[in-house]
Amino acid sequence: MEAADLLTRLPRPSEAGSATLLELGSGGGSLASHLKHHFTLTLTDRSPAMLAVSQALNPECEHIAGDMRSLRLQRRFDVVLVHDAIMYATRPVDVQATLKTAGLHCRTGGTVAVLPDCVRETFTAGTDHGGHDAPDGRGLRYLEWTWDFDSADDSYMVEYAFLLREVDGTVRVDHDRHEEGLFSRIQWLGWLEEVGIHAGVELDSSGREIFVGTRHI
């Protein structure tokens, strides 16, 4: 489980809830639902709809609407976490702005963890598929197709195709496209250092390269 792996890389509070954690781009709060038993969480996202999902799942957590590139809470936290929402930053300036936000909100000596899905050196094109059926007759099948049209730019594409079956047996097809950022390991480390975070590269339990560092200024 991703949360269990992440917890081994974060400072462990002396007792549950005694340390504060800010998540930038927290989405529907799935990861937060596992972290809230260990930290006092502040969850931020620019989507009110996603925050509403998270509030239903994590009512005990603080929720704040805001863009991870420009959020300014005038507070410092023991841990600042940026999960896979960072993949939607497709320009260097957007990544740098997000990391600046992380640095400004992390106390000196605190931890910043950034978890991109991949870096340029580890990107691979490919496909995935799956789905399930419900007892009432509904069903879903999906195809995920990851590809990079232009290896010279800073992004790649993820295409999703969904076959959705209704209770009455009718089936519809939906397509969703995501453009995601792709940057080198050295760029990530350099940008973190620029905002006062001395970070290293770690491999998580799935073999993904993530960045965990300490704010030193």
Compute the distance between CA of residue 34 and CA of residue 15 in angstroms, rounded to an integer: 16
Work out the pLDDT band at 115, boundaries 50, 70, 90.
very high
Residue 50, sorted as left (phi over 0), alpha (psi -120 to 50) or beta, turns out to be alpha
Same domain, 58 and 156: no
pLDDT tens by residue, 122-157: 999 999 999 999 999 999 999 999 999 999 999 999
What pTM, to 2 d.p., does this model score?
0.92
Same domain, 154 and 49: no
pLDDT tens by residue, 51-106: 999 999 999 999 999 999 999 999 999 999 999 999 999 999 999 999 999 999 99
Domain count of the fold of the chain: 2
Same domain, 105 and 83: yes
- List beta partners, residue 40: 20
Given a cut of 80, whether residue 14 has pLDDT beyond it is no
What's the pLDDT score for residue 144? Answer: 98
For residue 17, the enclosing domain spans 2-118+184-215
Beta strands 197-203; 171-181: pairing state: unpaired
Same domain, 158 and 191: no
Given a cut of 80, whether residue 118 has pLDDT beyond it is yes
